[in-house]
Structure 1
Amino acid sequence: MRLEPITWERLAENLAERVLRTTAADGSPWLRVGVDGAPAARPGDLAELTGEALRVRGRGVVVVGTGGFLRPASLRYEYGREDPDTYYSGWFDTGALWREVFGPLEAGGSGRVLPDLWDPSTDRATRSAHVELPPGGVLLLHGPFLFGHWFPFDLTVHLSLSPPALERRTDEGERWALPAYARYEEEVGPGDAADILVRADDPRHPAWSAGG
């Protein structure tokens, strides 16, 4: 795969242009974009930059992080606070994401998206208000392990880190999760599954598959 060097700002502009050329496969009036990557790759930053580029182009945008859709601590920590298998398959409330984020954006849906559901610092519901996305608007969902759940994305981006870069850029206290990312690579192959691959080993100098 041919990768071209690019800045994060230019990457966001190019992604916004790619979104504008994308149509929903199911006839929905909204587009659903997944920005997948380990926290060390900072997928939320790219989602926010892309969201701003889309707003400048007149599109309504809602940016949602999977960190706002965690399961309660009693479920996340059932096998301890540092269990990589549970982190991989049990931390994120995929059912709530289907119900509160993707369901409203199906063809004939309401367009009313819940931006977050659970606050891990208080281990309570956030009680956030729904956000109404106008027709033609774009959902940007970011977080790790986005692929493999059959989420109805219209465009997908994966921020890739080599194992050494992932270990280097992951805080020491979070390195217990590294086996989960390795399992994701082995079982899902996110770099191959994504429409657009971004190599982010050097945070100052990303590269992307421009023809993806």
Structure 2
Amino acid sequence: MMSAIRDVPERPVPATKTGEGDGMDGSQTPAPAPGQSNYPRRDRLIAHLADAVGSVAVPHPTRVAVDGPPAAGKTTLADELAAVLRARGRYVIRATVDDFLFPRERRYRRGEFSAEGCYADTHDHGTLNRVLLDPLGPGGDRRFRCTVYDHATDTVLSPPLATAPADAVLVVDGVFLLRPELVDRWELRVLVSTAPDRTVDRAVVRERRVSSRADVERRWRERYLPAQRLYVATARPAEHADIIVHNDDPRRPIW
């Protein structure tokens, strides 16, 4: 039987579901105020991303992808961007691709450590497009859902529809967001890049209360990292990204 942590695959998190950690290194440090992280270079990055969002001129909500491998810092970056955009007066919809998972049985049908299964069987991109990205895109009615899957019960959800204003910003973080099924549905594409060994180290810190180091390293090296290599080889996300953030040192990112 799979352990509980493996039931939430491509962004494995502790039972508290803290995402990539409130701290930039995966720790549980309280989040700073918008634009005030005490790390000037990171503050400049977030301001630069917010400016890029502000420069988008479309008659529908602006859809922003924050893509990258697991434990690269996507969730933290997306949360910080959303906070700054809200501080600037924007209506922000915050979503994650891991709320569009296929049920557990399908996710692991090729095996618990299958890289191909990780890439092909994890997320329901058709539903993501149908209930979130397309309604907020050109010609959409702006009625959307941010989640269709319950991690705790492994069941499909159908929450009430919400309606976004035309000038809203959708910020979505997750893996594989620039693959062919999704790449044309974003107005701004941000790719967070981190050295593979650093993502493993961050994952060990993030999951230390629920998984052993050996278990985390095996899942990363047999499933998640090979799936990322498959993604890079087939989708070439760096060629589609508008902004690439090198996040080996989250306090001093390079872009």
* TM-score after normalising by structure 1: 0.87
Size of the aligned set, in residue pairs, is 201
Residues 53-77 of structure 1: per-residue CA shift (max 9 Å, x gap): 1112221110110010000111111
Question: 1:6, 1:91 → 2: CA distance?
Answer: 37
Whether the 8 Å contact between 1:62 and 1:139 is mirrored in structure 2 is yes
In structure 2, which of residues 198, 221, 225 is the aligned counterpart of residue 178 of structure 1?
225
Alpha-carbon distance, 1:43 to partner: 0.8
Which moves more between the two structures, 92-101 or 81-90?
81-90
Partner of 2:51: 17
Residues 1-21 of structure 1: per-residue CA shift (max 9 Å, x gap): xxxx96333322221111111
Alpha-carbon distance, 1:146 to partner: 0.5
Measured on the aligned residues, the alpha-carbon RMSD in Å equals 1.9
Partner of 2:77: 46
Partner of 1:117: 148
For residues 93-112 of structure 1, the aligned pairs below 5 Å read 93-112=124-143
Question: 1:7, 1:112 → 2: CA distance?
Answer: 37
Question: 1:134, 1:181 → 2: CA distance?
Answer: 35
- 1:104 match: secondary structure: coil
Whether the 8 Å contact between 1:8 and 1:46 is mirrored in structure 2 is no
Structure with greater strand percent = 1
Whether the 8 Å contact between 2:95 and 2:173 is mirrored in structure 1 is yes
Alpha-carbon distance, 1:166 to partner: 3.4
**1:199 partner letter:** H
**2:113 partner letter:** E
Partner of 1:201: 248
Go from structure 1 to structure 2 and tell me whether the alpha carbon gap of 1:40 and 1:182 turns closer, same or farther (over 3 Å shift). same
Go from structure 1 to structure 2 and tell me whether the alpha carbon gap of 1:187 and 1:107 turns closer, same or farther (over 3 Å shift). closer
Alpha-carbon distance, 1:206 to partner: 1.2
Whether the 8 Å contact between 1:33 and 1:139 is mirrored in structure 2 is yes
1:166 aligns with 2:199: yes
Structure 1 stretches lacking a partner, 5+ long: none
Structure 2 stretches lacking a partner, 5+ long: 1-38, 205-212
Alpha-carbon distance, 1:107 to partner: 2.7
Go from structure 1 to structure 2 and tell me whether the alpha carbon gap of 1:192 and 1:42 turns closer, same or farther (over 3 Å shift). same
**1:21 partner letter:** S
Partner of 2:41: 7
Which moves more between the two structures, 86-95 or 161-170?
161-170
